[in-house]
Amino acid sequence: MTGAAGFLGSHLSERLLAGGHEVVGIDAFTGFYARRLKERNLAALRVARGFDLYERDVLDGGLCDLLRGAEVACHLAGRPGVRTGGAAAFEAANVGATRALVRAAASAGLTRVVLASSSSVYGACSGPVAEDAPLAPLSPYGHSKRRAELVAADLAGKLGIELVRLRYFTVYGPRQRPDMAFARFVAAALDGGAMPLLGGGAQRRDFTYVADACEATALALERGPAGAVYNVAGGRSVALADALALLGERLGREPAFEHRAADGREPRATEADLTLAARELGWAPRVGLVEGIECQLAHAGAELEDLAGWA
């Protein structure tokens, strides 16, 4: 698994280990956010049986030996965040790394790859969007995730790889990346800082609890047919302002907001049609937003020192 020390990767590793699998984790520990945060993510995994971690950049090559003998390659590594870089950075980290991973998997004798994609490939939508909807990303990040899907699909067809793609919608929960809205809100509220709020928080998001995202991924690893694409989401679109109000209510305090204009690189709303994942994987989200926020807050105190400085 690439990106094994990240937010989703560390949770997925724990889920797979709990299910009796062995996990070979690969992570480059890039400077997108502090190494100490990824080390925190790995705390439980470092002592877990069946987990091995290798510090390696997918673009540096040499993955064949690490992948050889594995049943599935799960590619979670990449550069996240709509507002975190330019087209060239996203092209290298998301498209180039995907190309390298699929080729390495084929060279190592693997026949199956699961690729992490994003709801950003859809762009603007006016209701629940299904996997066969036209793709019209708004940002360099979204374009890079669309390109990564296309490159992976093309290589999979040529190299005999069974490719399954997962489009995640705004994943949250304990150990959430510090640049994401819920983590920034908590850090700002607890340390007295201000949180940037774009467009008054009117944008709507289909928030997905991390355990639900991991369960969908584990099922896709086992059951997803070659060529399948699945939305992975919480099942309900909620205004960011309402989600933050709920977060503040449960936390018992709110930060000051630094109001900024909406960013045209982000869609006004995201909402997933989950029919296909329910039918083919037998998956549906189980954790609602209130419960998920309470779980994230339960870990917030321990994470505050690591989150400080991002608000």
Q: What are phi and psi of 175, to 5 degrees?
A: 70, 20
Q: What is the 3-state secondary structure (H, E, C) of 89-158?
A: HHHHHHHHHHHHHHHHHHHCCCCEEEEEEEHHHCCCCCCCECCCCCCCCCCHHHHHHHHHHHHHHHHHHH
At position 256, the amino acid (one-letter code) is: A
The pLDDT assigned to 303 comes to: 54
How many angstroms separate the CA atoms of 106 and 33, rounded? 31
CA 81 to chain centre: 10
CATH, range 7-172+209-235+266-286: 3.40.50.720
Whether 141 is catalytic is yes
Distances, alpha carbon 161 to alpha carbons 71, 146, 152, 158, 257, in Å: 12, 19, 9, 8, 47
How many angstroms separate the CA atoms of 57 and 74, rounded? 15
How many angstroms separate the CA atoms of 192 and 137, rounded? 35
Task: DSSP letter for 269, please.
Answer: B
The pLDDT assigned to 304 comes to: 52
Rounded CA Rg of the chain:
18
CA 216 to chain centre: 12
Comparing CA positions, the residue from 307, 199, 185, 214 lying closest to residue 12 is 214
User: Where do the domains of the chain lie?
Assistant: 7-172+209-235+266-286
The pLDDT assigned to 61 comes to: 83
Task: DSSP letter for 224, please.
Answer: P
Can you read off the two tokens belonging to residue 225?
A: 């047919």
Bridge-based pairing of strands 112-118 and 208-209 is unpaired
The pLDDT assigned to 33 comes to: 73
The pLDDT assigned to 301 comes to: 64
Question: What's the CA angle centered on 137, arms 119 and 173, to 5 degrees?
Answer: 25
CA-based end-to-end distance of the chain = 30
CA 131 to chain centre: 17
In terms of C-beta density within 10 A (0-12 exposed, 13-18 middle, 19 or more buried), how is residue 252 classed? exposed
Q: What pTM did the predictor assign? A: 0.93
215-235-147-74 Cα dihedral, nearest 10 degrees:
0
> Counting every residue, how long is the chain?
311
At position 175, the amino acid (one-letter code) is: R
Given a contact cutoff of 8 angstroms between Cβ atoms, the answer to whether 166 and 220 are in contact is yes
Spell out the per-residue pLDDT of the chain, length 311, in tens. Answer: 999 999 999 999 999 999 999 999 999 998 777 788 899 899 889 889 999 999 999 998 889 999 999 999 999 999 988 777 788 999 999 999 999 999 999 999 999 999 999 999 999 888 999 999 999 999 999 999 999 999 999 999 999 999 999 999 999 999 999 889 999 899 888 888 888 888 889 999 999 999 999 999 999 999 999 999 999 999 999 999 999 999 999 988 889 899 888 888 889 999 999 999 999 999 999 999 999 999 999 887 655 545 444 33
Which residue in the list 141, 168, 172, 209 is annotated as catalytic? 141
